[in-house]
Amino acid sequence: MCSKKSLPLHSCDTLWDLAIAEVEKRENPDDDDVKPGEVWEKSILFMGNKNGGKTTIILRCLEREESPKPTLALEYTFGRRARRPNTPKDVAHFWELGGGTSLVELIRIPITSHNIRSFAVVLVLDLSKPNELWTTMESLLQVTRNHVKRVLTKLERTNPEVAAEIKEGIWNDLRRDHPDYALVDPFPIPLLIIGSKYDIFNFTSKSEALLLKARAVINHLAFGYDKSKSVSVDPSKPLFIPAGLDSMSQIGPPPASDSDLGKMRANTPLELWKKVFEKTFPPKSFCDLQDTKDPVQDSQYAEYEVDAMRAQKNQELEQYKRNASKSWKEMDFDSS
């Protein structure tokens, strides 16, 4: 991730001096990770609920006026931006995992030891499906975490310095004096969680403003744009909480009676929140979340010649099955 070095400022600086320094910093950023003339290259994997809005977010980030289409499996696109005029354009690789949790093993394709240092994950959770939310989040993040750990283990053998740098970097957003420091098990690579379809719960739609805010954070991950410094923890409004700027004491206990909380066995605050959440919204099983629809039957992928040939092959297969079944039944097996 690209860090910006600011010019030294003194207490005697005027507002004009501060403005000049800010302009100079933006026009001539001193990037620690990118040398002059070098291309910045990042990768982001979008995953989450099926039909949760991942494609819409990607299109808005890339400023593409297209109608989103359902993602079949694992799709790829890219965007290019120049940090400054007359400089090489940086590249951001956007991967999107379709099918909810049914195709989670495909994450092994985009996340490799070659790009792990510049990789980030965006998890998009559909707020209109609370009964799927926690199961989807837990399944996708656990599989991704395990895969990233395997990649880092492999990287420790081939490039231990880079592996150590990645492991140290995951703590950058959390100060050692943070009250929850001992409780936190940070995700091994940058992670952004977006709750989509928030506007469904409001009489006045705020989807446009929320998309712009999500776009700003994703642009930071993809192109090194400055981080948003805004924070919103008011539960009556859309939450916006950068990593490291909340705490369990600020969040408070789950909304349940003391007697109910006392009956729940949990080793961590997160486990306690999970139990209360799932009591309110009984989760769907992992099998229920599997996408059983056959993409071959999807009308958006219809092609006459291909479909006609497939129908013929299906008929041949069924005839083969009947002949094979008949021949097996007619065989006289030795029972001795």
Q: Give residue limits of the domains in the chain.
A: 23-250
Per-residue tokens: 80 = 């290019």
pLDDT (tens digit, 9 = 90+) per residue, 91-127? 999 999 998 888 888 999 999 998 999 999 999 999 9
pLDDT at residue 336, as a whole number: 40
Nearest-angstrom CA–CA distance, 280 and 118: 38
- 308-322 mean pLDDT: 74
- With 90 as the cut, is the pLDDT of residue 136 above it? yes
pLDDT (tens digit, 9 = 90+) per residue, 257-269? 888 888 888 888 8
User: Sheet of 119-126: strands edge to edge?
Assistant: 74-82, 89-97, 41-48, 119-126, 191-196
With 0-12 / 13-18 / 19 or more C-beta atoms within 10 angstroms meaning exposed / middle / buried, residue 252 is exposed
3-state secondary structure the chain: CCCCCCCCCCCCCCHHHHHHHHHHHHHCCCCCCCCCCCCCEEEEEEEECCCCCHHHHHHHHCCCCCCCCCCCCEEEEEEEEECCCCCCEEEEEEEEECCCCCCHHHHHCCCCCCCHHHEEEEEEEECCCHHHHHHHHHHHHHHHHHHHHHHHHHHHHHCHHHHHHHHHHCCCCCCCCCCCCCCCCCCCCCEEEEEECHHHHCCCCCHHHHHHHHHHHHHHHHHCCCCCCCCECCCCCCCECCCCCCCHHHHCCCCCCHHHHHHCCCCCHHHHHHHHHHHHCCCCCCCCCCCCCCHHHCHHHCCHHHHHHHHHHHHHHHHHHHHHHHHHHHCCCCCC
Q: What percentage of the chain exceeds 90 in pLDDT?
A: 30
Phi-psi region of 58 (alpha: psi -120 to 50; beta: other; left: phi over 0): alpha
pLDDT at residue 156, as a whole number: 93
- 167-172 mean pLDDT: 88
Backbone angles phi, psi at 95, to 5 degrees: -110, 140
- 138-158 mean pLDDT: 94
Nearest-angstrom CA–CA distance, 238 and 212: 13
pLDDT, the chain, mean: 79
Per-residue tokens: 226 = 């400055």
Overall fold of domain 23-250: Rossmann fold (3.40.50)
- Give 5's pLDDT tier (boundaries 50, 70, 90): very low
Nearest-angstrom CA–CA distance, 252 and 246: 11
More confident residue, 155 or 329: 155
- 283-312 mean pLDDT: 67
Q: Which pTM value belongs to this model? A: 0.72
pLDDT at residue 227, as a whole number: 80
